[in-house]
Structure 1
Amino acid sequence: MIPVTCFPGQKIAVLGLGRSGLATARALKAGGAEPILWDDSAEAREKAQTEGFICQDLSRNGAMDGITALITSPGIPHLYPEPNRVIAAALALGIPVDNDIGLFFRSFATQDWEAYDTPPRVIAVTGSNGKSTTTALIHHILEAAGRPTQVAGNIGRGALDIDPGIDGEVIVLELSSYQTELARALTPDIAVFTNLSPDHLDRHHGMGGYFAAKRRLFAEGGPDRAVIGVDEVEGQFMANQLAEGAEDDRVIRISSGQKLEGFGWSVFARKGFLSEWRKGRQMASIDLRSVPGLPGAHNHQNACAAYAAVRSLGIGPKVIEAAFHSFAGLPHRSQLVGERGGVRFINDSKATNVDSAAKALQAFPRIRWIAGGLGKDGGIKGLVPHLGAVSKAYLIGHSARDFALELGSTPYEICNTMARAVAMAAAEAESGEVVLLAPAAASFDQYPNFERRGDDFCAQVQAVLAG
């Protein structure tokens, strides 16, 4: 735990008692504050109370009297589409609103660091797609290199739930736009921006607000090194703003598909090869085509981001290359579940929108595609240009029939359930094909989350393989 010591003896309100909320309450208490907690869920409040915390409805008149600050969980709206009523009350009263990420950056460094040979460092990763894989890959490379490291934030543990930093340690944080938008302190040593595509637009009031939330990590965070994906204009703009010129190697531009040779420092992947260039010279090259845990151009972009981040720490290309090959990938993100008769079964349940599904569909040459669920605005029309590798689609869930109308000439079967889709795809797949779950839809029609949907896919695949 990272004790939050900046509020000794003060009453601090904590709104939302999920993973980050309870970790925040514990950290505040350890630092000498008096946390006052609330969550609309009676079950969450009961759990907090069993730990000895005071729960009080913060929306009642006078509930905020004597409160010094309000710490809110990332999923609770604070501005758009409209502020939560408790946050609105804090704003009206002038009570500072923060989140656990802001508290982490205010609390992580301690006087103990003065005795360290190498102070702990923080790498923070944000972007629309690939954040989790990039974060996990950085963490994996650091472990392979023998560096002490912890991973937290939007993946794994809450940021305040990790252990205090030790000599030479590197903390890797995955940060969502919800987390970067509100944090009152953002001071990573290295910040990574993977890419940008439309998401959470109602929460950020459009693409401009969404990009602005991501940009805060760099513009207000002031990292020593910025790793910026420049495959979209927003990334190009941000890299341009942060760098003093093309030769400024404090900004490392990364790309999957573009050749980036005219910059002080760049890392890019083309035709399956990662290249590092510095000041007009190629420094290293890695063949990514045979790396099983990083299939497809989108994962090659993740590899470039992770490579650039750890190279900033002085880790050598050979160590990074070896770590790439031992990286197993994350569950539900291009996860190899099994193989039979030359047919691979890939779980990409995290592909909940058109953009992420398009990247999955471009990663394999011959696909039996399982898609569907609770469709999002716009359906899957945007995937039509990426269906050339799809032998047949197997559609499930609430939007199965809507998706079928948008597939054009692509053969399809309306299966409704995961069990039927997996069984049919496995029976019809030929050697060299991939049975790919990339739903392009939310899971909430049939499952509580994308993880449970992916788990069901894995269970059905294992049943097929055992049959």
Structure 2
Amino acid sequence: MIPVQGYVGQTVAVLGLGRSGRATAAALIEGGAEVVVWDDSVPAREAAEADGLIIRDLTKQGAFEGISKLIVSPGIPHLYPNPNPVISAAWDATVPVDNDIGLFFQSFATDAWNSFDVAPRVVAVTGSNGKSTTSALIHHILIENGRPSQLAGNIGRGVLDIEPAHDGEVIVLELSSYQTDLARALTPDIAVFTNLSPDHLDRHAGLGGYFAAKRRLFAEGGPDRAIIGVDEVEGRYLANQLIEGAGDDRVIQISTGRKLTDGWAVSARKGFLSEMRKGRQVASIDLRNVPGLPGAHNHQNACAAYAVCRSLGLGPKGIEAAMHSYPGLPHRSQLVTEHNGVRYVNDSKATNVDSAAKALQAFTKIRWICGGLQKEGGLDTLLPHLQNVAKAYVIGREAEEFARQLSGAEAEVCGTMAVAVSRAAAEAQSGDVVLLAPAAASFDQYDSFEKRGEDFIACVQEATS
């Protein structure tokens, strides 16, 4: 646990009692703060009270009297589409609002670091797609090369739930736009921007607000080094905002769309990763046979992770060896099984059109399981990427409408995962890939994309047994 510094004897309120909220309350108490908590959910409040936390109804008049700060869990809207009433009340009472990410950066460094030979470092990864894989891959490469590391944030443990840093340790944080948008302190040593595609637009009042939330990690934090994906205009803009000229190696640009030659750059084309320094190639890795990183979208993740690890002093050969042993993450291009020459791949995390398009480009001869709670913008931008789809099997409550939009591809309305997997397995031939890449949220049928992926795996096991 990271004890929160700076609130000894002060009363701090915590709104939201999920994983991050409970960890935040514990870290505040460990640091000497008096903590009161609130959640709209009665069971969540009862569980917290049973564990000894003090419940205060923050919706009541005068609830913020004597409170120094309000800490908000990431899922709670603080601006768009409408601020949570408790947050509005904190504003009216002139109580500062923050989140656990802000507390982490405020509290991570301690006097114990004075005795370390190598100061701990923090790597923060944000972007629309690939954050989890990039973060996990960085962590894996570090561990495989004998560097102590912890993985936290939007993946793994909450940021305040990790252990205090050891000498030379690297903390790898995956940060969502919900987390970067509100944090009052953002000071990573290395910050990564993978890419940008439309997502969470209601929460950020459009694409501009969504990008602005991610840009805060760089504009507010001033990292020593920034790794920026430049395959979208927003990444090119961000890199240009940070760079002082062609020789400025504080910015490493990454791309899978074109070969980068100026400054310090890492790109991947046709399955080969290249590192360029001052116009000269200094290293190359063949990614085509790395089992845990299939497809161009994963090659972008590999570029980002490679750039981070090179920034931390690792050599290309050590990075390459670790990439080959990377097992991949559940629900992200996860190979479930191969049966009768047919591969079954779980990419349930492909919850938006862009991530699904990248999954479709990673394979050929695809039996595509898709559908769910559709996001804003429709499926038009997905249509150019259906050339590898032999047939789509559509699930979800809106399956008929989803299938209607897939012009140019044969689509069968299945409704449920069990029917979709059964039909795809029955029609698949050797060399085909049965791919779950929904291009939609899961909440019409499942509690989370993880539950959806687990159902896919169970259905595959039944169909192939």
The corresponding residue for 2:161 is 161
Residue 401 of structure 1 and its aligned partner are, at CA, apart by: 0.8
Q: How many residues get paired?
A: 465
RMSD of aligned Cα (Å): 0.9
Distance 2:195 2:176 in 1: 12
Distance 2:424 2:120 in 1: 49
Of 41-50 and 108-117, more deviation after overlay is shown by 41-50
Q: What are the equivalent positions in structure 2 for 1:350-361 lying under 5 Å apart?
A: 350-361=349-360
Deviations 1:369-398 (A, max 9, x none): 011112223332221111111011111111
Distance 1:48 1:148 in 2: 33
Please tell me whether the aligned partners of residues 375 and 398 of structure 1 are also in contact (alpha carbons under 8 angstroms): no
Give yes or no for contact 1:37–1:55 (8 Å, CA) kept in 2: yes
Identify the residue that residue 332 of structure 1 maps to in structure 2.
331
What letter corresponds to residue 356 of structure 2 in structure 1? A
Match of 2:433 in 1: 434
Distance of 2:199 and 2:246 partners within structure 1: 30
Match of 2:387? 388
Secondary structure in structure 2 of the residue aligned to 1:275: strand
- State the secondary structure of the residue aligned to 1:379: coil
- Which residue does the alignment assign to 2:124? 124
**CA positional deviation for 1:445:** 1.7
C-alpha contact 1:190 1:309 (8 A) present in aligned 2? yes
Query: How far does the alpha carbon of each residue in 1:84-140 deviate from its partner, in whole angstroms, 9 at most, with x for none?
Result: 111111112211110000000010000000000001110000001100110010011
Q: CA deviation at 1:309?
A: 0.5
Cα distance in 2 for residues equivalent to 1:130 and 1:211 = 16
Distance 1:35 1:128 in 2: 34
Residue 304 (structure 2) pairs with residue 305 (structure 1): yes
- Alignment check: 8 A CA contact 1:139 1:150 kept: yes
Q: Name 1:291's counterpart in structure 2.
A: 290
- 8 Å CA contact 1:152, 1:159 repeated in 2: yes
| Superposed displacement of residue 278, structure 1 | 0.6
Deviation (angstroms), 1:260: 0.3
**Percent of residue pairs bearing the same amino acid type:** 72
TM-superposed CA distance for 1:285, in Å, is 0.5
Post-superposition offset of 1:217? 0.6
- Distance across 2 between alignment mates of 1:154 and 1:402: 32
Give the 5 Å matches for 1:21-60: 21-60=21-60
Structure 1 residues 207 and 378: CA distance shift in structure 2, 3 A: closer
What is the distance in 2 between the residues matched to 1:457 and 1:271? 31
The question of 1:107 aligning with 2:104 is answered: no
Q: How high is the TM-score relative to the length of structure 2? A: 0.99
**Per-residue deviation at 1:221?**
0.3
Quick one: which amino acid aligns to residue 358 of structure 2? K
Matching residue of 2:269: 270
Deviations 1:58-90 (A, max 9, x none): 110111000001110111111111111111111
Show the counterpart of 1:398.
397
C-alpha offsets along residues 287-322 of structure 1, whole Å, 9 cap, x if unaligned?
A: 111111111111100000000011100111111111
Q: Residue deviations 1:191-244, cap 9 Å, x none?
A: 000001111111111111111111111111011110000011111111111111
Match in the other structure for 2:242: 242
Counterpart of 2:150?
A: 150
Letter of the 1:442 counterpart: A
* Residues 409 and 244 of structure 1: CA distance in aligned 2, closer, same or farther (over 3 Å): closer
Is the partner of 1:414 in helix, strand or coil?
strand
CA distance in 2, matches of 1:234, 1:379: 21
The Cα offsets for residues 8-33 of structure 1, whole Å up to 9 and x where unpaired, read as: 00000100011110101000000110
Distance in 2 between the 1:397 and 1:219 partners? 40
Which range moves more in the overlay, 202-211 or 229-238?
202-211
Q: Determine the C-alpha separation between the residues in 1 that align with 2:97 and 2:301.
A: 33
Distance, in Å, in 1 between the alignment partners of 2:12 and 2:90 is 12
